[in-house]
Amino acid sequence: MSATHADTIVMPTRKSPVPAITFAGLILILAILPAFVYPIFVMKLLCFVLFAAAFNLLLGYTGLLSFGHAAFFGGAAYVTAHALKVWQVTPELAIIAGVVTSIVLGLIIGVVAIRRQGIYFAMITLAMAQMFYFFCLQAPFTNGEDGIQGFSRGNLFGIIDLNETMNLYYFIAAVSVLSLALIWRIVNSPFGQILRAIRENEPRTISLGYSAQRFKLAAFVMSAGLTGLAGALKALLFQFATLADVAWQMSGEVILMTLIGGIGTMAGPVVGAGILVGMQNFLATSGLPVTMVLGGTFMICVLLFRRGVVGEFLHLLERRKG
């Protein structure tokens, strides 16, 4: 994937005020948005923004296409829901349990998958995630087709009642913004530079003395953990976790979000998740077959629109400049 979108990445310089202004703007928008938009919709959107951003950390900045991220998303959702329902712990502990699960899963799948590259990597992650799907289908604690549902969100730190929509909204908004800032920080750190070097030219990075396998595994586990956080928040928000969260269609959806928005751009996953979640909301009421439209969108994006919305926009800016 590297050569085609390398030109779309704008490296912010260290002292640039743009990221700070962007994040300030994002916080401002999130603070006033519930006055205009249904808060549940915004929260759902935030979960998928975080999911897509975590996925993009792997695809966009390390050049690894995972077809198995649903395992981390759904695995964390299941454990969070189980912790809230059966163990009856506070929500922050339930979320941590979910994230730890996805990190462990990420380690196991990552160790196997990074042994191959390119399309093999995609197929292996898909197969491993499908294995996890069958595990969830049969394991007793997931309740099979019914999923885990009907639990209270509980009190955050034992004090703040998350069953109040606005409390939940500010909690999810805060966690999402902090996670996005963390991803931005990872991407713009020396570690992120090495990831990009691996994406551009792996043999050369190895010859410079970096252990590419170890960096790839680290990126994979970070992406899995952040994906798990998104899944845990989703379980908390909708108060259920089902097989749909671990199914391969979910892995496909997050790829499409990243592709529509722009692979390897910071804003791409945000825009892509917005477009896809909005589209699904619209299609759900329109009677059009959702899967068919998604498939068609996929084909069109790959054929004509590989830079994505944000990527095309940045490309235009570049062309204007010089």
Partner 1 sequence: MTTIFGVALPVLTGQLLIGLINGSFYALLSLGLAVIFGLLRIVNFAHGAFYMLGAFAAWMLLNYAGIGYWGALFLAPLVVAVVGMVIERTMLRALYGLDHLYGLLFTFGLALLLEGGFRHYFGTSGQPYAAPEALRGATNIGFMVLPNYRGWVVLASLVVCLGTWAIIEKTKIGAYLRAATENSTLVQAFGVNVPVLLTLTYGFGCALAGVAGVLAAPLFQVSPLMGSNLIIIVFAVVVIGGMGSILGAIVTGYMLGIVEGLCKVFYPEAANIVVFVIMAIVLLLRPAGLFGKDS
**How many residues at the interface with partner 1, by CB under 8 A?**
42
DSSP SS3 for 318: helix
Residues 189 to 208: which contact partner 1 by CB under 8 A? none
Exposed, middle or buried: residue 227 (CB in 10 Å: 0-12, 13-18, 19+)? buried
Q: Which residues pair with 149 in a beta bridge?
A: 240
Interface with partner 1 (CB under 8 A), residue from 259, 309, 310, 314: 259
Cα of 188 vs its chain's centroid, Å? 18
25 binding partner 1? (CB under 8 A): no
Closer residue to partner 1, CB minimum distance, 83 or 136: 136
Question: 277: which residues sit within 8 A by CB, 6+ positions away?
Answer: 41, 44, 45, 48
Rounded Cα distance between 29 and 37, Å, is: 11
Interface with partner 1 (CB under 8 A), residue from 18, 112, 178, 208: 112
Output 68 or 231, the one with its CB closest to partner 1. 68
Quick check: 299 binds partner 1 (CB under 8 A)?
A: yes
293 binds partner 1 (CB under 8 A): yes
Of positions 18, 244, 290, 316, contacts partner 1 by CB under 8 A: 290
Instruction: Choose the binding region for partner 1 from 78-86, 205-213, 234-242, 285-293 (rule: CB under 8 A).
Output: 285-293
Q: Which helix (H) or strand (E) holds 241?
A: strand 240-241
CB 213 within 8 A of CB 55: no
Comparison of 162 and 301: residue with beta carbon closer to partner 1: 301
Q: Which is nearer to partner 1, 115 or 185 (CB)?
A: 115
- Cβ-count burial 73-105 (b if 16+ within 10 Å, e if not): bbbbbbbbbbbbbeeeebbbebbbbbbebbbbb
Q: Which stretch binds partner 1 (CB under 8 A): 150-158, 187-195, 211-219, 283-291?
A: 283-291
Instruction: Output the six-digit token pair for 218.
Output: 């680290």
- Calculate the alpha carbon distances from 102 to 17, 240, 309 in Å: 34, 17, 30
By beta-carbon proximity to partner 1, the closer residue of 134 and 141 is: 134
In the bound state with partner 1, the residue whose beta carbon lies nearer, of 178 and 299, is 299
Closest contact distance (angstroms) between CB of 259 and partner 1 is: 7
Q: Which of 15, 303, 320, 321 binds partner 1 (CB under 8 A)?
A: 303
**Residues 6 or more apart from 218 whose CB is under 8 A from it?**
191
Task: Tell me how far apart the alpha carbons of residues 280 and 44 are, in angstroms, rounded to a whole number.
Answer: 12
Query: For residues 91 and 110, which CB has a smaller minimum distance to partner 1 in the complex?
Result: 110
Interaction between residue 52 and partner 1 (CB under 8 A): no
Q: According to CB under 8 A, which residues from 120 to 159 bind partner 1?
A: 120, 122-124, 126-128, 130-131, 134-135, 137-138
Which residues of the shown chain bind partner 1 in the complex (CB under 8 A)?
Answer: 1-4, 65, 112, 115-116, 118-120, 122-124, 126-128, 130-131, 134-135, 137-138, 248, 252, 255, 259, 289-299, 301-303, 306
